[in-house]
Structure 1
Amino acid sequence: MSSILVVTDAWHPQINGVVRSLERTADELRAMGVRMEFLTPQAFKTLPCPTYPEIRLSLTHKGSVRRMMDEFDCEHLHIATEGPLGLLAAGIAKKRGQPFTTSYHTRFPEYVSARMPVPLSWSYAWMRRFHNAGNGCMVATTSLENDLRDRGFRNLMRWSRGVDENLFRPYEGSVLPQDLPGPVFMYVGRVAIEKNIKAFLDLKLSGSKVVVGDGPQLDTLQREFTDTLFTGAKTGEDLARHYASADVFVFPSLTDTFGNVMLEALACGVPVAAYPVMGPLDVIGDTGAGVLSENLAEACEAALDIPRDHCRNIALNYTWAASSRQFLDNCITAVGGVAQANAVE
């Protein structure tokens, strides 16, 4: 396969796992000789998503999206998100009989439920129709695959994630204030209600708590938890050095499908404390690189005893090269399956 068009509603200036995964996959596949193109909200006028202004919703129509898809002229279509662009692209592909794949990055029904009284069954029914219309739906973990299969999702394909082990690595010293009492328990990611950050900040722990990131809940949490250090969003080596300055990385989310940030923390030599739910169960599991418990405070304290070099070694099992090859193989399989079905007909 020589060219792939990715349609995504999640793109810069957002900083999240979806955007980083797509960018790293594109870098790796381009190095393999695959032309990767992106159709994103940057091509259109946008408006902020209600309750989540960092997410920009594209203001466009089917004709404009169809024209841009034709201009890219790619061999395969991958739709990464279920937003306005993803819906339009899927509608165009279905009308043309064009095969396409999707990926399930976000537990959207749970996110909606956290913000408004919408039954999970309604949201999942809508998501199921969207993803089942494609020729393959890529998921990151076994737990997510099993969950979606039980909910009636079909054609599920595994697409794991990777970590940049050269950027995210142990660093000498700390970038945090010198007078910050240790040990340091740190959260990194979007500061939003679905990330369950308040559960972390409510814990009674020794030392200090640090939150690295930005989002719609930041102001509220800063006002309520004045003893927590909020650094704002960080990128590149600055982000990696913040990870490496922590003693334990705390992942309080109950709704993430994977959690790239856990791999980044582990690669920096930082053990993970989390709930025993989808994401942590798949990434940490019984690796010994973290502690999973319904009592998050106990998990945080117990994780302090985990050797940092062991955490680093576990993270090195995940590479972006392997992840990207898996993505490409899924695209080839989806197109091949359609071709074989057409040949039989």
Structure 2
Amino acid sequence: MPKLTIVTDAWHPQVNGVVRSIETTNRELKAMGVEVSMITPEPFRSIPMPTYPEIRLSLATPGRIGRMIEAQRPDYVHIATEGPLGLMARHWCIRNKRPFSTTYHTRFPEYVAARLPVPLAWLYAFVRWFHNRGGACMVATESLRRELAARGINNLCLWSRGIDTAHFRPREKSEKPFGLPRPIFMTVGRVAVEKNLPAFLDLDLPGSKVVVGDGPAREELQARYPDVLFTGVKHGEDLARAYAEADVFVFPSKTDTFGNTILEALASGVPVAAYPVTGPVDIIPAGSNAGALDHDLQIACIAALQASPASARRLAETYSWEAATQQFFDNVVEAKEQRRKRGLRQRFGARPAEIDAHGRPATE
């Protein structure tokens, strides 16, 4: 049975797409026969992240992380985040010549620049430094792969996402959900600056607006938009029922790398309105009638009212967690192979095509 260690700074009690993706992938990996061990913030002392105290920064050392990895005796190591645990794991892997793969889950440079006066060029230099030493850097969409390749990030490969279509599904709609008049325009996710929520909340739309989720910007936005219903965080069946009550799901973010909430809405039979940016353009193809994309979000919202709930559901059904997890594990295996070939190139000076299946220069 292959053994995999995943190192992540994003974990419970955080509620976000990164945590959900890792959690679901773990479940599918175990069903595939992969033994998964986790290194998460749970056993570490931590401090609140400046400007976002809900996220805790673990206080760890490379030595402690290394001992934890060694104790798990993995065949493969995957580093999911660029936070303190990810940095320590990266340091240990490089020092000990251990192959590893990484994931570019979030637009780290844009998220930091939205909170701190740090130039984007510096932040992307850090991203290149972090990810280029791994054997594979996984991204969720083809458009993001092209974008990051143009910024000098190497070894990029695709890892898509899936959706639980039994949990998120169309349901009978209430006449006045949440006690509000229809149509219901809803968004779900972290209530934070990078989600660009005012672009949605400022729109002049018929019916009602609902925000499901919590975060550092909620208090300010709730005071600023008294006519908008902020429900707070919902989980499980409550979340699934909330999605199914919406008439249009609005995704105002321009910085997400995928948009798991888009799939959750589509699976619930709710058309999506969004900007034509990375994530939405990759999930919602032109002519699908599952939603509407426009640089004017108001136009997209009104057009999405005419989209087909059945088409939204059919599109979601094409996303399988089983297929996405197989893609993930194939990338993990390939990352180790790439590290082996890199070592052989350094030893023999051979290019990848000149290295045979036995790890020797093919020209010998």
TM-score category, normalised to shorter length: over 0.9
Tell me what 2:252 maps to. Answer: 252
The letter for the 2-side match of 1:323 is: A
Q: Distance in 2 between matches of 1:175 and 1:233?
A: 23
Tell me what 1:332 maps to. Answer: 333
Q: Any idea what the Cα deviations from partners look like across 1:248-278, whole Å, max 9, x if unmatched?
A: 0000001000000000000000000001111
CA contact (8 A) 1:8 1:81 kept: yes
The letter for the 2-side match of 1:331 is: V
CA contact (8 A) 1:174 1:242 kept: no
- How far off its partner does 1:175 sit? 9.9
Q: Any idea what the Cα deviations from partners look like across 1:36-75, whole Å, max 9, x if unmatched?
A: 1110000101111111111110012122111111111111
Tell me what 2:37 maps to. Answer: 37
Q: Does 1:180 align with 2:180?
A: yes
CA contact (8 A) 2:135 2:334 kept: no
The letter for the 1-side match of 2:138 is: M
Q: Does 1:27 align with 2:27?
A: yes
CA contact (8 A) 1:174 1:244 kept: no
Q: Does 1:344 align with 2:360?
A: yes
Tell me what 1:300 maps to. Answer: 301
The letter for the 2-side match of 1:332 is: V
- How far off its partner does 1:176 sit? 6.7
- How far off its partner does 1:289 sit? 1.0
The more displaced of 284-293 and 202-211 is: 284-293
Q: Distance in 2 between matches of 1:329 and 1:188?
A: 31
- How far off its partner does 1:177 sit? 4.3
Change (3 A) 1:178 1:257: closer
Give the unaligned 5+ runs of structure 1: none
Q: Any idea what the Cα deviations from partners look like across 1:210-232, whole Å, max 9, x if unmatched?
A: 00001000100110000000100
Q: Does 1:283 align with 2:292?
A: no
CA contact (8 A) 1:175 1:245 kept: no
Pairing of 1:1-345 with structure 2 (within 5 A): 2-174=2-174, 177=177, 179-286=179-286, 287-341=288-342, 342=344, 343-344=359-360
Q: Distance in 2 between matches of 1:78 and 1:52?
A: 25
- How far off its partner does 1:179 sit? 3.3
- How far off its partner does 1:338 sit? 2.9
Q: Distance in 1 between matches of 2:54 and 2:70?
A: 29
CA contact (8 A) 1:2 1:35 kept: yes
Q: Any idea what the Cα deviations from partners look like across 1:270-296, whole Å, max 9, x if unmatched?
A: 000001111111111313211011111
CA contact (8 A) 2:8 2:85 kept: yes
Q: Any idea what the Cα deviations from partners look like across 1:290-329, whole Å, max 9, x if unmatched?
A: 1011111111011011111110000011010000000011
Q: Distance in 2 between matches of 1:183 and 1:173?
A: 11
- How far off its partner does 1:172 sit? 1.7
Q: Distance in 1 between matches of 2:289 and 2:301?
A: 14
TM-score, length-scaled by structure 1 = 0.97
The letter for the 2-side match of 1:293 is: D
Give the unaligned 5+ runs of structure 2: 345-358
CA contact (8 A) 1:176 1:245 kept: no
- How far off its partner does 1:174 sit? 3.7
The letter for the 2-side match of 1:61 is: T
The letter for the 2-side match of 1:328 is: F
Change (3 A) 1:228 1:281: same
- How far off its partner does 1:239 sit? 0.5
The letter for the 1-side match of 2:278 is: M
CA contact (8 A) 1:136 1:334 kept: yes
Q: Distance in 2 between matches of 1:2 and 1:55?
A: 32
Question: Of the two, which has the highest radius of gyration?
Answer: 2
Q: Any idea what the Cα deviations from partners look like across 1:5-31, whole Å, max 9, x if unmatched?
A: 000000000011100000111100101
- How far off its partner does 1:181 sit? 1.1
Q: Distance in 2 between matches of 1:263 and 1:57?
A: 29
Q: Distance in 2 between matches of 1:85 and 1:195?
A: 25
Q: Distance in 2 between matches of 1:224 and 1:178?
A: 20
CA contact (8 A) 1:175 1:241 kept: no
CA contact (8 A) 2:28 2:321 kept: yes
Q: Distance in 1 between matches of 2:20 and 2:36?
A: 15
Q: Distance in 2 between matches of 1:77 and 1:338?
A: 12
Q: Distance in 2 between matches of 1:320 and 1:82?
A: 24
Alignment size in residue pairs? 345
Percent identity of paired positions between Structure 1 and Structure 2:
57
Report the 3-state secondary structure (helix = DSSP H, G, I; strand = E; otherwise coil) of the residue aligned with 1:281: helix
Change (3 A) 1:176 1:145: farther
TM-score, length-scaled by structure 2 = 0.92
Change (3 A) 1:37 1:180: same
Q: Distance in 1 between matches of 2:9 and 2:333?
A: 23
